[in-house]
Amino acid sequence: MNSTIEQLKTKFQQALIAAFGTDFAEVDPMLVPASNPKFGDYQSNAALGLSKQLKQAPRAIAEKIIQHLKIEDICLTPEIAGPGFINLTIKPEYLEAQVNSIQTDPRVGISPSKNPQRVVVDFSSPNIAKEMHVGHLRSTIIGDCIARILEFKGEDVLRLNHVGDWGTQFGMLIAYLREVCPEALTTANAVDLGNLVEFYRKAKKRFDEDETFQETAREEVVKLQSGAEDSRRAWQLLCEQSRREFQVIYNLLDVKVTERGESFYNPLLPDVVEDLAKTGLLEEDAGAQCVFLEGFSNKEGQPLPLIVQKSGGGYNYATTDLAALRYRIFQDRAERIIYVTDAGQANHFAQVFQVAKRAGWIPDNVELVHVPFGLVLGEDNKKLKTRSGETVRLKDLLDEAIDRARADLESRLKDENRQESEEFIANVAQVIGISAVKYADLSQNRNSNYVFSFDKMLSLQGNTAPYLLYAYARIRSIGRKGNIDFEQLQKDAKVLLQEDEELVLAKHLLQLSEVLKNIEQDLLPNRLCEYLYELSKKFNKFYEECDVLKAEEPQRSSRLILCDITARTLKLGLSLLGIQVLERM
C-alpha cells in the first residue's frame, strides 16, 4: 500500500501535467503534513514555487492545480489559503478504509522495499583493552536502531563492529603481560586478566615511566606484526578478554553486531598505499606517504595531508578505513555504508571519503554516510564523569538504571497494594531501566549533546520510555478487562470514525510509514520517538473522551480495534528503537 502522502503526490503530479504540460512532470508538489490541524491535514506549497517560472500569481496557479486535481476519493474540497497554499483535509471514509485495511496486517500497512539495498552499518566499534565509554554506548544504541529500521524495511543489512584491535598500544600491553603474567604467553589454558581497563592503565604507567620498557614495547609491535607465535597468543588473549566484557553490554542491550575489527584489514593495507600511488595522488612528505586534501588546511593555510603510511612504515587509522571501504564495496557489495561515531570524527570520515572518491574507488551507486552524534553530558553540563571524576563504566551505568527502575517499581507496587513475583519485578525493572537509557539517547536529535539524567529518563511523565511502555500496557489492560479476542473481533467488526479524537488518532496511525521513510534518508531516530510520543498522547486523549468497553455497538468493537492497532503500532515502533514492551508493568 502506498502511503496517503505518496498517493497525493502522484495526484498532484498528474494535475500539474494536465494544467501546465509535460514540462512540469518533475515538479515537486512540496506536500507536507499541515503545521496546524486548522489548516487541514496536508499542505502543498507548489503554487508558490512555480510563480516565477509561469509568470502568474501563486493563487491563480493554485486554482488551476485544483481544477485538475482528482482527489475526491481521498480529500474534502481543497482550499486555497494565504498567498497560495493548497490545504487538504482527508475524508473520514477514506481514513476508515485505510485503517480497516491495516487491521490485520502485522506490518501495520508498511510495505517492504521492492529492491532491497545492501547496507553496511558500522557501529559500536569500541577499542580492545580500553574502556567502552558512553560515546560507544551512543554509537551502539543509535547504530542498532538504524539497522533495525533498515532491516524492517527489508534492506539487506550487514552490521559491523569495527573494533580497534590493532595498533601500537598492543606492543605496550604485550610487553606488560610478559612481565606480570609470563605463563599467559606459553600455556594453552585461558588466563583471566581481570579488569582490562585497570590492566591498560598499569601498562601505560609502566610505559610512561621507563624508557627501556618503551623500547621493549616497540620491539613487541614488530614481533606481533611479523607473526611471532607467542605475541599473537598474547594479542588474542587480550582480544578475547575484551570481547567477553563487550558481550556483557551487548547482551544487556539486546544488540547484535558482527565483529570485524581493524586487524581484519591488516593484510590489505600495503595494497591501499600501492594503489594510491598508481592513481598519482600519493606524495611523500617528511618521509611519510600521504595524499594532500582539498578543502582542509593547517593553521598556516597549507593543504593538510592525510597520512596513509608513516615514515617508519606503519599504517594509520585512516589507512585501515580506506581498506575497509574497498572491502565493503567490492567484497560485501555494499551500496550504502553508514558510520555511526561521535561528531569529533567528522573530519576523519570526510577525509577518507574524499581520498577514496578521488582515487576512483567509489562507484556512482554507492553512498557513504557519516552519522555523527554529540556528547553525553552530566547534570553539571560537562562531559559525563563519576563523582570521583573518572569515566563512567557502561556496565555500572546500566546496572544503576535497572536498580533505580526497580526501586521506583517497588514503591509503586506498595502504593497500589500489589503483590508481584520476584521474576515479574526483575523483568520489569530490567526492561524499564534499559529502555529508559536507550530512549533518552534516541529521543534527542543525535547531532546535539544531551544531559544524562536518571530522574528524567525514568519518569513516567513526559517523552520517556516509561511513559510509552505504560501507554502500551494500559491499552493491553483494556483488552484483558473486556476479555477481548482481538483476532475474532478483526474478523467480525470494522472501524468507524466519528469523534474528532478518533479521526485524529487514525490519521496519526497512518503516518508511520512516512516517518520511517524520512528516517531511512536522514537517519534521525528521534523522529520515531516523537511519532510514538504523539501517538501515546493522541491515544490518551481518545481514551479520555471516548468510552471503549462501555460504548454501544458498533462503536465498542470499532474502538477496541483502534486500541489494538495503536498497541501494535506502539509495539512495532518501540521494537525498531530496540525497546521491548511489557504487557503489564
Q: Which residues bind ligand ARG (CB under 6 A)?
A: 122, 125-127, 162, 164, 321, 324, 339, 341
Residue whose C-alpha is closest to residue 544's, from 464, 485, 474: 474
Side-chain-side CA neighbours of 103 within 13 Å: the count stands at 24
Pick the closer one to ligand ARG by CB: 341 or 490.
341
SS (H, E, C) 109-160: CCCCCCCCCEEEEECCCCECCCCCCHHHHHHHHHHHHHHHHHHHCCCEEEEE
Residue holding cell 592503565? 201
Residue whose C-alpha is closest to residue 336's, from 146, 528, 144, 126: 146
Question: Could you tell me the end-to-end alpha-carbon distance of the chain, in angstroms, rounded to an integer?
Answer: 35
CB of 165 to ligand ARG, least distance (A): 9
CB of 467 to ligand ARG, least distance (A): 33
C-alpha–C-alpha distance, residues 207 and 198, integer Å: 14
Q: By Cβ distance, which residue is nearest to ligand ARG? A: 125
Per DSSP, the chain holds a count of helices (H) and strands (E) of: 22, 14
CB of 321 to ligand ARG, least distance (A): 5
CB of 339 to ligand ARG, least distance (A): 5
Pick the closer one to ligand ARG by CB: 337 or 512.
337
Side-chain-side CA neighbours of 476 within 13 Å: the count stands at 16
Pick the closer one to ligand ARG by CB: 126 or 305.
126
Pick the closer one to ligand ARG by CB: 62 or 371.
371
Please state whether beta strands 282-285 and 288-297 pair in parallel, antiparallel, or not at all (unpaired).
antiparallel
Q: Beta strands of 374-430 (E only): which ranges? A: 376-377
Pick the closer one to ligand ARG by CB: 253 or 484.
253
**Alpha helices, H only, 288-393:** 317-330, 346-358
Give the gyration radius of the chain's Cα atoms.
29
CB of 129 to ligand ARG, least distance (A): 12
Pick the closer one to ligand ARG by CB: 44 or 127.
127
Pick the closer one to ligand ARG by CB: 321 or 501.
321
CB of 282 to ligand ARG, least distance (A): 21
CB of 344 to ligand ARG, least distance (A): 8
Please state whether beta strands 258-259 and 156-161 pair in parallel, antiparallel, or not at all (unpaired).
parallel
User: Is the bond leading into 303 cis (omega within 30 degrees of zero)?
Assistant: no
CB of 511 to ligand ARG, least distance (A): 34
SS3 label, residue 31: strand
What cell was used for 221? 609491535
- Residue 33 CA from chain centroid, whole number: 23
Pick the closer one to ligand ARG by CB: 339 or 467.
339
C-alpha–C-alpha distance, residues 332 and 120, integer Å: 8
Pick the closer one to ligand ARG by CB: 240 or 342.
342
